[in-house]
Amino acid sequence: MKRLLGVVNIDGKEQLFVSSGTFVGFVDSSQSKEFKAYNWQKGLIKAKETKDELFNFRLGPSAGALFESVVFNIYTYGERMKEVYIDNTYKSRFIEDKMINKDVFEALKLSEQICASFSFSHSCAFSRAVEEAFGITPDDNTKIMRLILLEVERIFNHIFVISRLSGAAAQKVFTNHLIYLFDEILSLNKTFFGSRFLKNINTIGTIKGISKDKMEEFVKKLDDIVKEFSKLYQFSLKSYNYLDRLHNTGILTMEDFESINFDGPALKAIGASLDTRVYEELLEGFDSIVHEGGDSLSRMIVRAEEIMQSMELIKKLFQKLKTSNNKTNIKIEKDNQKRTAIGFAESPSGAIYYYIELLGDKIKYVYISTPSMFLIKAMEASLVGQIFTDFAFTIDSFGAFFADAAK
């Protein structure tokens, strides 16, 4: 299964940024016909001509029903949504442009500002790209800690998304429990790592570590929270009212994947997976959680089971942590040599890819492929044919952040 991650202009020539299995790189734009997602990525898809009975119900950018500032152009005759176009340019901060001519450490800080809930994933992907460009190999402890913290980010993100879903489904007690657990994990992050959203922890070549004893305490407390979540989740599955609201809502199919190329839990809910953790040597035997159905319920189930899976992965990775730390020799050359590299990390909603071009230690060009860019298109496709009541369940089930898509 291949994905079109973006259409990039390199040295005046259009190239396609693609991923397929272990291959991540560029192919010539003459192969664009193989990718149905090429049309929307190039902006070639225009709004269809609307019929007379349809009107544009414009929701946003600042509406109570929405979490972030975004505009939903919903074409409807009153009950069902016939077409949906999402405008997330209100959140554009042009971070890719701001990274240009900055040194790699400043650009790393900017990468964490794209989306706070994926800040560690962005930081990880960017630092891996820089390390590849300069030939830096982080030590084992750094690699293990990065994987652990990626899983921690996954856990609190999934709890947040499930709490939003249950809130939309009017399960107030369950929602309040989940918000409490979400806040507890953020407080744990602050206590042990100094940042609620794991910012300013990762750097090029190394990571701010903590002692193994403290790490053991952190893992134990996180495990208690995940066990609490597991009990609540099992209890929520007995509420047919809750499950019925999510079942058959916001359905996506493999045809949607071929035309949009999304990944993450939205793809896993259709029965397929492009999880990059499969290629991690330290996560040997990793198997993605998949579910059939393609609806909001399947996406919720995938996320809930991934929380438990992430906790098991954290425990396994913790056993591999060494007490002594071999410091990596970090050398960032300030010469005028041109370097290019690609780095990626598996964020809670899908893989993040960074393509960077460097001149010495300064960023010359950067292209960021975020999962939310694709999930927004998936949202548009899944909302078609739904009634307004199902709007919240569909939107919240994707776990997409418009700040992540708008960059």
Partner 1 sequence: MLLWPIYGLSKRYSKRYKFDIPSKPRNPFRRSLHVFVIDAGSDVELLLEFYSLMSPKYNIHRYGIFFVNTPRHADLLVILSKPTEKMLPIVKEAINHMPEPFGVLLIENETFENGIDIGLPNLVGRLKGNLEAEEIFKKLVEIAKGGLIC
Chain contacts with partner 1 (rule: CB under 8 A):
61-65, 67-69, 89-93, 98, 110, 113-117, 119, 160, 176, 179-180, 182-183, 186, 190, 195-197, 199, 401, 403
Which residue lies nearer to partner 1 by CB, 184 or 280?
A: 184
Least distance to partner 1 from the beta carbon of 391, Å?
14
Which residue lies nearer to partner 1 by CB, 115 or 307?
A: 115
Bridge partners, 80 (sequence order): 387
Least distance to partner 1 from the beta carbon of 18, Å?
28
238 to 126, 158, 305: CA distances (angstroms): 42, 20, 16
Name the packing angle between helices 212-236 and 172-193 (round to 10°).
170
Please, where are the H alpha helices in 169-274?
172-193, 212-236, 240-246, 254-260, 265-268
Instruction: Using the structure block, give the residue that is written with the tokens 């939310």.
Output: 372
Which residue lies nearer to partner 1 by CB, 193 or 257?
A: 193
Which residue lies nearer to partner 1 by CB, 50 or 89?
A: 89
Task: Find, among 288, 300, 305, the residue nearest to 351 by Cα.
Answer: 288
Least distance to partner 1 from the beta carbon of 236, Å?
17
Least distance to partner 1 from the beta carbon of 196, Å?
6
Q: Rg for the chain (alpha carbons), in Å?
A: 21
Least distance to partner 1 from the beta carbon of 166, Å?
13
Interatomic CA distance for residues 287 and 398, integer angstroms: 21
What is the dihedral sign for C-alpha 161, 163, 167, 169? Answer: positive
Interatomic CA distance for residues 5 and 38, integer angstroms: 9
Interatomic CA distance for residues 168 and 170, integer angstroms: 5
Interatomic CA distance for residues 266 and 252, integer angstroms: 8
Which residue lies nearer to partner 1 by CB, 186 or 359?
A: 186
Which residue lies nearer to partner 1 by CB, 136 or 226?
A: 226
Which residue lies nearer to partner 1 by CB, 195 or 239?
A: 195
For the chain, the residue count is 407
Least distance to partner 1 from the beta carbon of 24, Å?
25
54 to 57, 80, 154, 295, 389: CA distances (angstroms): 9, 10, 40, 26, 18
Least distance to partner 1 from the beta carbon of 349, Å?
12
For residues 293 and 269, the answer to whether their CB atoms sit within 8 Å is yes
Which residue lies nearer to partner 1 by CB, 77 or 180?
A: 180
Segment (H or E) for 10 = strand 2-10
Least distance to partner 1 from the beta carbon of 379, Å?
16
